[in-house]
Amino acid sequence: MGSRSVMLDRIRRACAGADGGELPSRLPDFPNYSDPVAQFRQEFEAVGGVFLDGRGSGQLAESLSTVIRDSDSTQVYWESEAMFPKYSIPYQRDKAGQGSVKLLLYSRHPDLKVEFPLSLESRPYGKSALAESSLSISPARFGIAETGTIVHEVGPGIGRLFSLLPPARLVLLSERDLIMNSAEFFADRLAEQRGSVLTLITGPSRTADIEKTLVVGVHGPKKMFVILTP
């Protein structure tokens, strides 16, 4: 039984009038997995996410092409230039605005296909440009296998709207940043925060606040993709 199930079971018994017993002196044991990639994929897909494995030779470009086709995106916005060396993505950039922090970087894909090196263009960072975009691509600070959760870190010069306005979002997750469970993140990894905000995201945006009817895409993207990289 997972940690969430243990907690919910205690709540149910307490609400039914059962004696909940003494409060625990320590947290329950959190799960570890022999195959954290398979566990992350299972949990992520269970909440409506699309998982793609980009670790093999040529698979990253192929996976990016799949996401672009599925989101019908001829113009893709990238969160930062630091993403490209981190995920070994060959690219070339226009000279306009180099060195300026408040710029949106984007690549054009009129044939809905990705070829390396990517040709990056730039434009001033603004709400209107993001609102017109159909796909944004961000790096994951961590992925949590237990729940299929992405931990996103907002760094200097990057607004929070980047991950909220486009209807589709792709997150690049390195296998090296995949951790087992929430306890590992909060106990050991939270101290590594370098940005201004950490957001834990589990699947596409959804709410059932109104008449318990599930609606997708109210507070963020309707589609959520993850590509796993080495």
What is the rounded distance in angstroms from the CA atom of residue 160 to the CA atom of residue 153? Answer: 10
3 state DSSP class of 164: coil
Ranges under pLDDT 50 in the chain: none
pLDDT value of position 193: 60
Enumerate domains of the chain plus CATH numbers: 44-229 (3.40.50)
The Cβ of residue 208 has, within 10 Å, a number of other Cβ atoms equal to 9
Q: How confident is the model at residue 114, as a pLDDT?
A: 95
pLDDT score for 160: 73
* Residue closest to 192 by CA, chosen among 149, 144, 151: 151
> Can you list the positions of beta strands (E) in 82-201?
91-93, 103-108, 118-124, 135-139, 142-144, 149-154, 168-174, 178-179, 197-201
pLDDT for 77 equals 93
Q: What is the pLDDT of residue 41?
A: 98
152 DSSP β-pair partners: 199
Q: Determine the pLDDT at residue 162.
A: 79
Q: What is the pTM of this model?
A: 0.82
Ordered strands of the 75-78 beta sheet? 50-53, 223-229, 168-174, 135-139, 75-78, 103-108, 118-124, 91-93
